[in-house]
Amino acid sequence: MILLMLDFDGTLAPIRPRPEMAKLSAGALNLLERLGRSPDVILAIISGRKLAELKKLVPVRGIYYAGCHGLEINGPGIKFIHPRARAALPDLKALKKDLKSLKGQLPGALIEDKGFSVAFHFRNMAGRHIAFMNEQISGMQKKYPRLLCQPGRKVYDFRPKVSWDKGRAVKLLLNKLCSKKPFPVYIGDDATDEDAFRALRGIGLTILVENPERGRGRTAAVYRLASPAKVLTFLKSLL
């Protein structure tokens, strides 16, 4: 039996200009439904997206979901919210107001409210604004010391500064399922997935989905796949 853990954006679905444009293809959804029914597979989707949104994007019965980089986890026999996540909501609300003001000065920028995190996307923003944006984001990091600012693929993701990440979420799932002794497999594409790769070093299979924005830099993953399309090919082989 394997515990198959998959990121969403850039892994199951290609990165799109706007977050709401990212969708699973009918073939990908059918494949995940088949994997979810397999007696040899325990399926989990682990993403920076909001938990409720993740469930809508991957509507597969009986699987595990970890949203906001693992701050929220839901699935058979588990309903978890990090105990310190709610305490950060006032800071996130104030930050969102500041980001809205910044967005007004940066054409093309987007704000994504994820509940327990806030993302500032600049994929559609002109390059000439990058230096100014980075300066402002740096100031916000100092203004909100109880929040962690995580850079990603053309995005800054602010979330509660707690000892928690995708790696710890993975370990929680493994502990929850220890009686079944599943072999962990994790596939992801972004910097936040490196925490999961490190957590599974020596005990599981870790695969980085390459992307041109990140390049072929160092990774804690053992293997690489070239694209989300190659991920689907790999998943088909598991059936």
Active-site positions read: 7
For the chain, the helix, strand and coil percentages under 3-state DSSP, each to the nearest 5: 40, 25, 35
Spatial separation of the C-alpha atoms in residues 186 and 206, rounded to whole Å:
5
Contacts of 191 (CB under 8 A, 6+ apart): 150, 151, 152, 214
3-class secondary structure, 78: strand
CA-to-CA dists, residue 141 to 108, 115, 134, 138, angstroms? 22, 19, 10, 5
CA-to-CA dists, residue 16 to 121, 124, 163, 178, angstroms? 11, 10, 30, 36
Q: Does residue 12 contact residue 118 with C-beta atoms inside 8 Å?
A: no
Q: Token match 């996307």: residue? A: 121
